[in-house]
Structure 1
Amino acid sequence: MKIERLPLNALRAFTEAARENSFKAAAYRLGVTPGAVSRQVKQLEAHLGVVLFERYANGVYVTDAGRMLAEDVQAGLSRIASGVQNVTEHSEEIFRLLLSAPPSFLQLWLLPRLPHFEVNEREIEISLDAEARLTPPLWLSNRARLSLRYGQGPWPGVTSLRLFEDTLFPVCSPSLLAQASIQTPNDLLAQTLLTVEWCSHAGHPIPSWSDWFKSAGVAIKKTPNQRHYSLYSLALDQAIAGQGVVLASYPLVADRLASGVLARPFAEQYPLASPFAYDLLLPDEGEMPAAVARFVEWLAQEAAHFRDDPL
């Protein structure tokens, strides 16, 4: 018989009645009337075509077939109850962590590394919020919220953990670098410059192409051809496709430089030290939950490993 055709309510009423050989006792346990139990049992007998109870003037008595069925049904119900309890207990044990961070950092740096943490961590469930706006961090007994921000401190009302300083430099596709004549910073003035409209933090301007050209000693007499994007990932995809040169934040492009889909003109020359950095923001009050401490420790170790050996 298919499971969707099983009369589960009738089976439960029957099992309770078989336990005590009494419709009245079953009714009491189920919170219904003895008549309701009797009707459920009759419907089950008609459904199965089997007599489950012998009925007498002074009561009922389960048949051999009924006893066998009751044992199997009771075992199944007990297994269902155990499964529900296990799921509930497991759910209560899970610590839920929400990490708010800029979309570019989540996509390009954290997501490729996060499975290495999750494969060994069964007691924490991590959700990611791609949000550039600062969300106040907090922690409770079974959940927490942390923020990772790209900006220039100090960050009021929180404790901050520095993950990376930032360095900016041009990157493009290897094919563009091979085809175009890019020997000096001046040569970039003839290329399409991919520009990301970063949001400024607390009035501090985000370093731009004009800042990079100035640091490289290039005087801009005519505004270069530029394409503007609202998301860093869009500009980076266009750079990989050979559509221009993007001013890259080092942590966000290091993996793609290592894989060879992006190249760095001028090798390691002409870097622009950014006043901005990547900071993990934590509540400045209360005790850090153990699950959060493990995640923060892992994140700090990944950042340290990246700083020591990014490629």
Structure 2
Amino acid sequence: MNPVLPLLALRAFTETGRYRSLKKAAEAMGVTSGAVSQQIRQLEERLGVTLFTRTRYGVRLTEAGAKVHPALVLAFDQIASSLETLEAINARPTLTISTVPSFAASWLVPRLGRFTSRHPHVEVRVEATASLIDLHKDRVDVAIRHGLGEYPGLVAEHLMAPVLLPVISPALLEKGPRLQVPADCLGYPLLQDSDRADWQLWFRAMGVADDPRAERGVSFEDDFLLLRAAIAGQGLALVRDVYAVDDIAAGRLVLALDLPWPTDFAYYAVTMPNAAKRELVRAFIDWLKDEAAREQI
């Protein structure tokens, strides 16, 4: 056998087996699906065995492919880990954090100085994106996610369970109709989430009969924009308390009614199992938990 290892072809085989998809393997490698397919075909020709069979859902490892795939996954993961170790030898310690823009702007960034003051030697990078990153392939240490806590193959640690609050700018409240019961909110312009669902659900939970006004009003894709519109006096907003707490404390917003509405979703710090054991990652997650606990005192 040729002693030169076909590393590119083996990587194509490994990633395709990992994701059960040529397209996802190509994305992980930064190449085209055709290039991945060609590398696998060349590997199969060289070895004289079939490694995958096609299905309606993607590709499936053959018996021969399944025998060697776990060892190759481990080998390439070890290579990636070794490369990270070499890169870190002379590099400043860094932490890359991923979360949605609204959480970054309204909660994380205003508090981040307390972490950096404790760890001035650490370079923190915040990636604010609405896209769901893949911790298996993206260089992210901690992802802060809003969901039910079900993240197979990852370590998820509970941070906080927000509630939805109806908030309004003091100026708009002063010149508008009085707010005494939930139905009174319908007398104001309602600022909507992107799905136009939160207000309708809140009114139902508060025992208010269905009303077409509950789904009218300007909608916003991002909660941070919704908050800015509320501060500008454009209407009533229904927002997560973790987003509004600082604006309420500063007097930019007030509670329209003290009627919080809990949801099933919560915020979690999510990491890869190996990353969760790193001292710096552990320190950041512990700090997140401390900050979250402050909000609940």
Q: TM-score, normalised by structure 1?
A: 0.62
Post-superposition shift, 1:150?
1.2
Post-superposition shift, 1:305?
1.5
Aligned to 2:200: 210
Choose the corresponding residue for 1:265, options 236, 256, 272: 256
3-state secondary structure, aligned to 1:302: helix
Distance 2:211 2:141 in 1: 48
Choose the corresponding residue for 1:220, options 210, 218, 225: 210
Aligned to 2:155: 159
- Percent identity, aligned pairs only, is 32
Aligned to 1:294: 283
Distance 1:117 1:228 in 2: 34
Aligned length: 209
Equivalent residues in 2 for 1:298-309, closer than 5 Å: 298-308=287-297
Choose the corresponding residue for 1:179, options 172, 175, 186: 175
Equivalent residues in 2 for 1:52-201, closer than 5 Å: 92-137=90-135, 145-181=141-177, 182-197=179-194
* 122-131 or 98-107: bigger deviation: 122-131
Post-superposition shift, 1:136?
3.1
The answer as to whether partners of 2:142 and 2:281 remain within 8 angstroms in 1 is no
Post-superposition shift, 1:145?
2.0
Distance 1:298 1:96 in 2: 16
Unaligned runs of at least 5 residues, structure 1: 1-88, 199-205
Post-superposition shift, 1:99?
0.6
Distance 2:88 2:194 in 1: 44
3-state secondary structure, aligned to 2:162: strand
Unaligned runs of at least 5 residues, structure 2: 1-86
Distance 2:180 2:113 in 1: 40
C-alpha spacing 1:125/1:139, structure 2 compared with 1 (3 Å): farther
Name which one, 1 or 2, has greater alpha-carbon Rg.
Answer: 1
The answer as to whether partners of 1:144 and 1:292 remain within 8 angstroms in 2 is no
The answer as to whether partners of 1:169 and 1:212 remain within 8 angstroms in 2 is no
3-state secondary structure, aligned to 2:233: coil
Encode CA deviations 1:135-174: one digit per residue, 9 max, x unaligned.
Answer: 233699xx85211011223122211111110201210101
The answer as to whether partners of 1:136 and 1:147 remain within 8 angstroms in 2 is no
The answer as to whether partners of 1:160 and 1:281 remain within 8 angstroms in 2 is yes
The answer as to whether partners of 1:207 and 1:274 remain within 8 angstroms in 2 is no
Choose the corresponding residue for 2:246, options 255, 258, 276: 255
Aligned-residue Cα RMSD (Å) equals 2.5
> Residue 160 of structure 2 aligns to which amino acid in structure 1?
F
